[in-house]
Structure 1
Amino acid sequence: MTAEGRLRAEGPVGIDELLERVREGLDRVEADTAHDAARAGEALLVDIRYAALRERDGLIPGALVVERNELEWRLDPQGSHRAPEATSHALRVVIVCNEGYASSLAAASLRQLGLHRATDLVGGFQAWRAAGLPVTELPVDGLPVTAALVTGRR
């Protein structure tokens, strides 16, 4: 029985146990592996962080930004609101949240839609940044982040 099947069969669980069970069914990836897979065109990175975190910390270059509440609609290859990148159920999707918790639950949800290669980034965006991988900082009020910090607009 799959991890998802066990979740339905066994009834209510706490969030820590749910997270543990969901992760059993995922082939979670480290930041360097996700970076290499995305660069090689072997995986689509999907950033589900909310806008304030993206504005504060920046973006992963090339990642598709889809806020969590729209994720299933945007990545369902059969959906009427799908993103152009959602080409197939065989697409390898690596979900990125801030620290690697919400992304595990999101990846499990995508698997229920048939995206059987969906997974998530261990440690989330913070692990990506800590690994020294590329990050694009967003401008604040039209100013580069460094200028915005100097002017106090951040």
Structure 2
Amino acid sequence: MSAVRRRTIDEVLAHARAGLQRLSPDEAWDAIGRGALLVDIRPAGQRAAEGDVPQAVVIERNVLEWRLDPASDHRLPQATGYDLQVVVLCSEGYTSSLAAAALQDLGLDRATDVVGGFHAWSAAGLPTTQQGRVLVGG
């Protein structure tokens, strides 16, 4: 019988991040300007409480791979190919790292995430919306 290799979530997160070229909020903003797809994976309740990013496509985490895999019958029109740069955004930059690593496992080698997530995005003064109002500087 073989021993089961167990890792803590901190080890799993470190492994995921080792394969990412994570972006600061300003770097993510620049990437969007160059055609990257910003994907917000926060659940609806979290987006309602914290705000939204107008440039983001919302794809909740539980369907992310199906929506962005270019080979999936359930992909979004934006899932144009494996060379698409996908920048994943969550609340604080933890879940997004795991999600970006999962997208890389699908062959989306340019997938990455935003260091600090939505909180850092908002603190950097990048555009957000809340209750239909566009805010700059959160």
Question: What TM-score do you get using the length of structure 2 for normalisation?
Answer: 0.90
Secondary structure of residue in 1 paired with 2:127: coil
Structure having the larger proportion of residues in strand: 2
Secondary structure of residue in 2 paired with 1:78: coil
Residue 94 of structure 2 is matched in structure 1 by 101
1:83 and 2:76 aligned:
yes
Q: How far does residue 89 in structure 1 lie from its aligned partner after superposition?
A: 0.6
> What are the superposed Cα offsets for residues 92-151 of structure 1, whole Å, 9 maximum, x if unpaired?
001000000000000011111110110110000000000010001134xxxx69xxxxxx
Q: How far does residue 67 in structure 1 lie from its aligned partner after superposition?
A: 0.2
Residue 58 of structure 1 is matched in structure 2 by 51
Q: How far does residue 21 in structure 1 lie from its aligned partner after superposition?
A: 1.3
Larger radius of gyration: 1
1:19 and 2:13 aligned:
yes
Residue 4 of structure 1 is matched in structure 2 by none
Alpha-carbon RMSD? 1.5
Q: Partner letter of residue 80 of structure 2?
A: T
Secondary structure of residue in 1 paired with 2:39: strand
Structure 1 stretches of 4+ moved >2 Å:
none
Secondary structure of residue in 1 paired with 2:130: coil
> What are the superposed Cα offsets for residues 45-73 of structure 1, whole Å, 9 maximum, x if unpaired?
00000001111122111211000001001
Query: Using the alignment, how far apart are the partners of 1:63 and 1:39 within structure 2?
Result: 12
Q: How far does residue 22 in structure 1 lie from its aligned partner after superposition?
A: 1.1
Structure having the larger proportion of residues in helix: 1
Query: Using the alignment, how far apart are the partners of 2:34 and 2:80 within structure 1?
Result: 17
Query: Using the alignment, how far apart are the partners of 1:64 and 1:31 within structure 2?
Result: 16
Query: Using the alignment, how far apart are the partners of 1:103 and 1:137 within structure 2?
Result: 21
Taking every aligned residue pair, what percent have the same amino acid on both sides?
57
Secondary structure of residue in 2 paired with 1:27: coil
**Structure 1: stretches of 5+ with no match in the other structure:** 1-9, 146-154
Question: What TM-score do you get using the length of structure 1 for normalisation?
Answer: 0.81
1:115 and 2:108 aligned:
yes
Secondary structure of residue in 2 paired with 1:56: helix
